[in-house]
Structure 1
Amino acid sequence: MTISRTSSGQPAPLTGRRVFVVEDEYFLADDISATFRALGAEIAGPAGHIEDAVEILRDGSTLDAAVLDVNIHSEMIFPIARELKARKVPFVFTTGYERVTVGPEFQDVPLIEKPIDVAAMARKLAALIAGPAR
């Protein structure tokens, strides 16, 4: 395995992490995936339909983090989010909607509004994976 490095020689923030991407906008999914790969991540997906996301969840592989579009082809992503939360997999939501769409169950989940700054989202996800500062 090749370890991606930053310009300072440090490992890239997502090196060795498997990030699950669920996004129904093809070009955005591709951009997220390419950016995260450049930061050292392996991508699960991207999944553009809820059914594909469920298949990835059921394949038994490890997921270190996830990026979930709130609305996938007019279906809400919450069943996938609940499963990730139960597995203690950190994730962020992406959406073009307001936070009220997410509801109180996921108020603690970071919400990244579209258009997305993919690099900033990657930093946020890396911080979530690292956990709270000690």
Structure 2
Amino acid sequence: MKPVVPDNPAAMPADMPGDVLIVEDDVIIALDFEQTVAEFGVTSVRIASSVAEALALIAEYPPDFALLDIGLSEEKSFAVARRLAALKIPFAFVTGYSGDRAFPPEYSDRPKLSKPFSRDELFAILSDWRSCGAG
């Protein structure tokens, strides 16, 4: 059964994360993510386009939840995933990779959104963000 995404922000679930970090190197995808996540009722959305930028944002103020594109320009986001896991911050991967060969075994239990994904799939991940492996 697919989740129904409410059109009315007042009808949004109260349990959305307050602050979401999006790690995405494609500006258009990042801006689309930001807009959609904000429409779901998330009050703060921060974007990083590299591992260094993401780690700096986490050090400045840890997010409630993060969405990590695996393949950034010339690096992978696994260093960010390690930091988030160490801080027990839930996160999900967003990827264009098919299959599980790109994922280290320690992340096999993490949710993955495959690009392209639907608005409903993103909503489902955010609605259930607390169960996205915080440890």
TM range (shorter): 0.7 to 0.9
1:58 deviation in Å?
A: 1.1
Deviation at residue 27 of structure 1 after TM alignment: 1.0
* SS of match in other structure, 2:28: helix
Q: Distance in 1 between matches of 2:49 and 2:75?
A: 11
Match of residue 24 from structure 2: 23
Percentage identity across aligned positions? 27
Q: TM-score, normalised by structure 2?
A: 0.81
Give the letter aligned to residue 86 of structure 1: A
Query: What is the letter of the counterpart of residue 81 of structure 2?
Result: A
- Structure 1 counterpart of 2:75: 75
Match of 2:3 in 1: none
Once the two structures are superposed, residues 7-38 of structure 1 have per-residue CA deviations (whole angstroms, 9 ceiling, x without a partner) of 39434456561011000111111111101111
The one-letter amino acid of 2:86's match is: A
Provide Cα deviations, 1:24-67, integer angstroms capped at 9, x if missing partner: 111111111101111111344211122211110110x2411110
Q: 1:56 to 1:88 in 2, by over 3 A?
A: same
Over aligned residues, Cα RMSD in angstroms? 2.4
Which residues of structure 2 form unaligned runs of 5+? 1-5
Question: How much does 1:74 deviate?
Answer: 2.1
In structure 2, the residue matched to 1:7 is: 8
The letter of the residue matching 2:37 is: F
Residues 96 and 131 of structure 1, relative CA distance in 2, 3 Å threshold: closer
Which deviations, in whole Å up to 9, do the C-alpha atoms of 1:67-104 show, x marking residues without a partner?
00001112011110011111111111011112210121
Distance 1:43 1:23, change over 3 A: farther
Pair 1:127–1:34, CA change in 2 (3 A):
same
Secondary structure of the equivalent of 1:88?
coil
Ranges in structure 1 where 5+ consecutive residues have no aligned partner: none
Q: Residue 51 of structure 2 contacts residue 79 of structure 2 at CA under 8 Å; is this kept in 1?
A: no
Looking at structure 2, the residues matched to 115 and 76 of structure 1 have their Cα atoms a distance apart, in angstroms, of 19
| TM-score, normalised with respect to structure 1 | 0.81
Question: Is the Cα contact below 8 Å between 1:29 and 1:46 reproduced in 2?
Answer: yes
| Aligned ranges 1:36-115 → 2 under 5 Å | 36-59=37-60, 61-98=61-98, 99-115=100-116
